[in-house]
Amino acid sequence: MKVLVADDDPGSLLVARAAVERSGHDCLTATDGDEAWALYLERQPDVVVTDWMMPGLNGLALCRAIRALEGDRYTYIVLLTSQGSRDDVLAGLEAGADDYVTKPLDPFVMHARLLVALRVTTLHADLAHYRKVLSRQARTDPLTGLHNRLKLSEDLEQLHARSQRYTEEYCVAMCDVDNFKSYNDIYGHQAGDVALRSVADALAAAARSSDGLYRYGGEEFLLVLPNQSQPGAKAFMERALDTVRELKIAHSGDPTGHLTLSAGISAFTDGHRADADTLLGEADKALYAAKAAGRNRVELAL
């Protein structure tokens, strides 16, 4: 672990540093609270061992500053003090300290506290990792690996707010695999899953790095196209439909003999500052119009 020790008493600092290094950990030292805070920000230690009374930030203020800043990562904090009253113990714990050691420091006690700190910080690191994994899984479609509707809702909210603020255009394109029910009926659901993954990969290859691609549900996909005009979005989607056609996925139930897509596009513009839900509804209606007009095409919202 990386351990930061802050103490304005040179003798106590020397003993603490020796105890930390003897326990097999890297040690950073600071002689006042302000230096300790600067080192904390720069080096992000796993453990902070801090004197209560010292120049600059005192131990309680340093505890509060660390707790106010940290997010997923957790810093284990041990307060060193010659004050051992119950009120002092409670004040330290309420400020965010995990443990409390009275001076003069016993190296054995320090070693024991660091063993506990290692267990606690390891546990917090594992929990933070699992939270990230679960958060990513909650926003990912398991079949295609694309973002799902939860992630769409979050991303679209941010994009809409930014576009409103800076008067930028963006488009949403709703896509649907044509005659997909008959594809599943003819080739089976496993083949249907393979086809959906292939379509997802083709759309991902066609999209810009700034575009958002989501599985909207079933055989529907949605693309969010920042800083894109409606004519530009239509040209892009026509190329994306070409990319899917070039896969040449055989479909005897489709008039073309291959799997195709239809798409509907709506746009947020200076003259049409609709909310995000309205845009999704307009894109869906445009998709319906593309289906009604014969499929395998792109239609714009009126």
Q: What backbone phi and psi angles, to 5 degrees, belong to 246?
A: -70, -15
Angstrom distance (rounded) from CA 24 to CA 36: 21
Instruction: Read off the pLDDT of each residue in 198-205 and give the average, rounded to a whole number.
Output: 96
Q: What angle do CA 97, 80, 89 make, to 5 degrees?
A: 55
Q: Is 219 a catalytic residue?
A: yes
Q: CA 2, CA 128: separation in Å to the nearest integer? A: 18
- Residue 84's pLDDT band, with cuts at 50, 70 and 90, is low
Place of tokens 């904390």: 40
Cis peptide before 10 (omega within 30 of 0): no
Give the chain's mean pLDDT: 93
Give the model's pLDDT for residue 83: 65
pLDDT of residue 206: 94
- Tokens 């119950």 -> residue: 86
Consecutive H or E run containing 229 = none
Which residues are registered as beta bridge partners of 81?
102
**Topology (CATH) of 2-138:** Rossmann fold (3.40.50)
Are 4 and 43 contacting, i.e. CB atoms less than 8 angstroms apart?
yes
pTM, 2 dp = 0.68
Which H helix or E strand runs over 180?
helix 180-187
Q: What is the 8-class DSSP label of residue 9?
A: -
216-256 per-position pLDDT tens digit: 999 999 999 999 999 999 999 999 999 999 999 999 999 99
Task: Provide the pLDDT for residue 193.
Answer: 96
- DSSP class of residue 218 equals T
* pLDDT reported for residue 125: 87
Candidates 282, 263, 274, 260; CA nearest to 223 is 263
Interatomic CA distance for residues 280 and 181, integer angstroms: 23
Is the pLDDT at 71 greater than 80? The verdict is no
Q: What are 42-52's pLDDT values in tens digits?
A: 999 999 999 98
Strand order in 2-6's β-sheet? 26-30, 2-6, 47-51, 76-81, 99-102
pLDDT in tens, 90-119: 888 899 999 988 888 888 999 999 999 999
Separation CA 204–CA 221 (nearest Å): 11
Taking only the tens place, the pLDDT of each residue in 262-301 is 999 999 999 999 999 999 999 999 999 999 999 999 999 9
Give the Å distances, CA to CA, from 166 to 153, 173, 210: 20, 22, 17
**Tokens 């909310």 label which residue?**
275
Catalytic residue among 169, 219, 282, 299: 219
The domain ranges of the chain are 2-138, 149-300
Report residue 264 as tokens.
Answer: 């509907």
CATH 3.30.70.270 at 149-300, yes or no:
yes
Per-residue pLDDT tens over the stretch 144-188: 999 999 999 999 999 999 999 999 999 999 999 999 999 999 999
Residue 80 predicted with pLDDT over 90: no
